[in-house]
Structure 1
């Protein structure tokens, strides 16, 4: 059965369990907000949990402000409800919190209903805000301490695989002038870019990856993107392009394929397209050398513990 339960599911259950314990301790008569927010507060990463959590807290504040302002006006409930919802939509739009309008609206309506029913709207607002903050905090703690996202290890594995695939792709282009996996390669580069961005976002919240290692990954990513462009250009130029002795030597040094050296030819007869081809090839080789240098830098950094 455990194979059908993902880590996020388990962590969500743990967050709700902790929220239930806290709710019973501080407010056993009204546990809904704390438990409900705990269900939706946990995200796939620490950074996203923090970002979404802050938006939910902001939504609660906006909704509460709108409700209390209109409750104090003394207008009938239908009028207050309509005006308060309109107000919170305007404020949320101005603050760029459009995704939280639904949560803000529910808070607004709850506060108004309780206020018009004779309860203290200020105390009710305090309870709602407190429970929301507690649920978000619990989600952050669980995501941070219980099997935290291993961005560093994941990126390292992906980058090592991309490194091997890069060498294989360039070698294939050279040996056979075939580039039939460029789309797959581009997808791998885009995935690495996404993960590096996620790690960079989380860096200020949790040390999911070392500063120095992340800096090297960013340089590697830029180099991989260039290699994709150069490889695509080489593939588009056809299979009849001749390679200069200088580039052949560089490729032999990289791959050790002396047998692929073409027969000597007079490079004074090189065509314009072949000049472009060999320039592009030289740039690609230079970027391969850069990757090797970055790989060496990564190997000299402390081992990843997470």
Structure 2
């Protein structure tokens, strides 16, 4: 749909629909703030199912790494009595290590998501929260990514064999 120089494309529509599903799901489950899951869906949703699935894989790897680092930060923060200096020193050190690990794993597509997950979780831990807070936020990022992938299933439905062949072909061409 186009209105002058503005257009509402299918990707924009699917993004809005993904965020709507996430907000509704969180309200139904009384899950709290849907921000992290919504951002994960926006970051992950791409023009078609195959690209979203490929990007989603990198995002899941990045989220897992970012989440592990956020949980690590939480334990250090808690161990050192929630001192502000821990945040000032430990977050940047973990951030540098996080970037290095993603780079070493050649997870450049998932790097921004990894950093975003780490910073959003680490810097929004409410006072007195347990490590479960960090684990739940990591789960939220996975949930948002999965919803983005599901949104693209109906757009270009294809059988699993065709999708697998296309992904293998893309990987062969990217290694050249």
TM-score (norm: length of structure 1): 0.44
- Residue 51 of structure 2 corresponds to residue 43 of structure 1: no
- Residue 116 of structure 2 corresponds to residue 125 of structure 1: no
Distance 1:65 1:28, change over 3 A: closer
Cα deviation digits, residues 31-83 of structure 1 (max 9, x gap) = 10122222232211211101111222221211122232244344622111122
Cα deviation digits, residues 150-194 of structure 1 (max 9, x gap) = 8xxxxxxxxxxxxxxxxxxxxxxxxxxxxxxxxxxxxxxxxxxxx
Quick one: which of 91, 109, 131 aligns to 2:119?
A: 109
CA apart distance, 1:84: 1.0
Counting only pairs closer than 5 Å after superposition, residues 174-193 of structure 1 correspond to structure 2 as none
Partner of 2:164: 204
Q: C-alpha distance in 1, partners of 2:121/2:12?
A: 31
Q: C-alpha distance in 2, partners of 1:137/1:116?
A: 26
Partner of 2:153: 144
Cα deviation digits, residues 208-232 of structure 1 (max 9, x gap) = xxxxxxxxxxxxxxxxxxxxxxxxx
Contact 1:70–1:83 (CA<8 Å) still a contact in 2? no
Q: C-alpha distance in 2, partners of 1:130/1:32?
A: 12
Partner of 2:29: 26
Segments of 5+ residues of structure 2 without an aligned counterpart are 81-85, 167-176
Distance 1:132 1:205, change over 3 A: farther
Q: C-alpha distance in 2, partners of 1:17/1:205?
A: 32
Larger fraction in helix: 1
Partner of 1:294: none
Contact 2:67–2:135 (CA<8 Å) still a contact in 1? no
Contact 1:111–1:125 (CA<8 Å) still a contact in 2? yes
CA apart distance, 1:114: 4.3
Coordinate RMSD, CA, aligned: 2.9
Q: Which has the higher contact order (CA 8 A, sep 6+)?
A: 2
Partner of 1:82: 92
Cα deviation digits, residues 108-147 of structure 1 (max 9, x gap) = 2333334583311x312222222222222222222112x3
Quick one: which of 1, 14, 17 aligns to 2:17?
A: 14
CA apart distance, 1:30: 1.0
Partner of 1:135: 144
Contact 2:37–2:145 (CA<8 Å) still a contact in 1? no
Segments of 5+ residues of structure 1 without an aligned counterpart are 151-200, 207-306
TM-score (norm: length of structure 2): 0.72
